[in-house]
Amino acid sequence: MDHPKRILIIYTGGTIGMQQTPEGLAPAADLAADIRHMPELGQAFQTHPPVIETLSYDPLLDSSDMTPGHWVRIASDILQRYQRFDGFVVLHGTDTLAYTASALSFFLERSDKPVVITGAQLPYAYPRSDARNNLISALEVAANMPEAMTQVCVVFGSRILRGNRATKVSAKAYDAFDSPRYPHLGAIGIDVEYNRRRRFPLAFGNFTKHGQLPPDDAVALVRLFPGFSAETLRAVCSSSQLRGIVLEAYGAGNGPSKNQAFQDAIRDAVRNGIVVVVVSQPLDGIVRMSSYAAGSALARAGAISGRDLTTEAAVAKLYYLIALGYSADMIAKKIKTPIAGEMRR
């Protein structure tokens, strides 16, 4: 008989375990203790229920308070306990869950064990809450994901998504996440069905050997809009710690090509060693900077195509590459190279 799977649940906070306070919903500590006594767990895993251990963070966080330091803490907690468990479930607030999912895919080494991130739209003690379903589905995937597919993934509502392709698409629906630029890894209905063509043969980086997380202000995110000024960009670039900018451009990666001051500001940023990565604003957009003159102008100024990277993955990947100690040239090169299934070749 197979030995029961050992799963570690890391409870970081988020709506899933929140309770009402005079200031509004805030994280509560009871969830971790309650999980082990959930009757549904026994029923969901009649044959081989997993052996579950929990690790609760103190303080528990609304994920809007998370920083890159928290990503690394979660990654380190997993790595430290890696040998003792068969899979990992991270309970997380939905607001920045896609950033953490992306970051874990980079900061963890290539893993032959599933790392599943989930949360909920309603606290677990609320009627019609999605918390129990999401938790049980996450445990199921952490225990039984096919070996060839093991990777960092988001399990939420009816979807299993690659972690670094996921983005939050709804503040209300139970299917709060989607991966509009990449097929789903699987679907959760009566059965848990895997899209077995989504194997995961890619090599991970190795944060444990090289990583030194840069200060938070090493990375900035800028979204273009009609009227966005060169002065605003120069103000962003004036931070002495800045090493990379994710530039959310229009459609296929276009920007204001007739605004010379804007082009100059990009060129100066790049000359000063700042890597400018262009991602697309539409949810299903893919950057092809040569499609339009307006995109070519950004490329000529030195900006780099992030192709189909999500904004979240672009931000996390920049932190990761900076943490590895790479030069601007090397970061620019590595940004274009898939390292954890985050972008097409």
**Residues near ligand ASP (CB under 6 A):** 13-15, 62-64, 93-95, 119, 121
Residue (93 or 114) nearer to ligand ASP, CB: 93
Kindly state the smallest distance separating residue 302's Cβ from ligand ASP, in Å. 35
Kindly state the smallest distance separating residue 28's Cβ from ligand ASP, in Å. 12
Q: Which listed residue (15, 94, 150, 311) is catalytic?
A: 15
Residue nearest to ligand ASP as judged by C-beta position? 93
Q: Are 188 and 199 in contact (CB under 8 A)?
A: no
Distance of alpha carbon 47 from alpha carbon 307, whole angstroms: 44
For 96-108, give the DSSP string: THHHHHHHHHHHS
Tell me how far apart the 2 most distant CA atoms of the chain are, in Å. 69
Residue (121 or 254) nearer to ligand ASP, CB: 121
Q: Are 177 and 166 in contact (CB under 8 A)?
A: yes
Q: Nearest Cα to 269, choosing from 234, 298, 226?
A: 234
Distance of alpha carbon 160 from alpha carbon 137, whole angstroms: 9
Kindly state the smallest distance separating residue 131's Cβ from ligand ASP, in Å. 10
Residue (122 or 221) nearer to ligand ASP, CB: 122
Kindly state the smallest distance separating residue 12's Cβ from ligand ASP, in Å. 9
Q: Are 101 and 115 in contact (CB under 8 A)?
A: no
For 10-22, give the DSSP string: EEEESGGGEEEET
Q: Are 134 and 118 in contact (CB under 8 A)?
A: yes
Kindly state the smallest distance separating residue 17's Cβ from ligand ASP, in Å. 9
Q: Nearest Cα to 340, choosing from 311, 316, 322, 305?
A: 316
Residue (305 or 310) nearer to ligand ASP, CB: 310
| Known catalytic membership, residue 15 | yes
Distance of alpha carbon 140 from alpha carbon 46, whole angstroms: 12
Residue (13 or 341) nearer to ligand ASP, CB: 13
Active site residues: 15
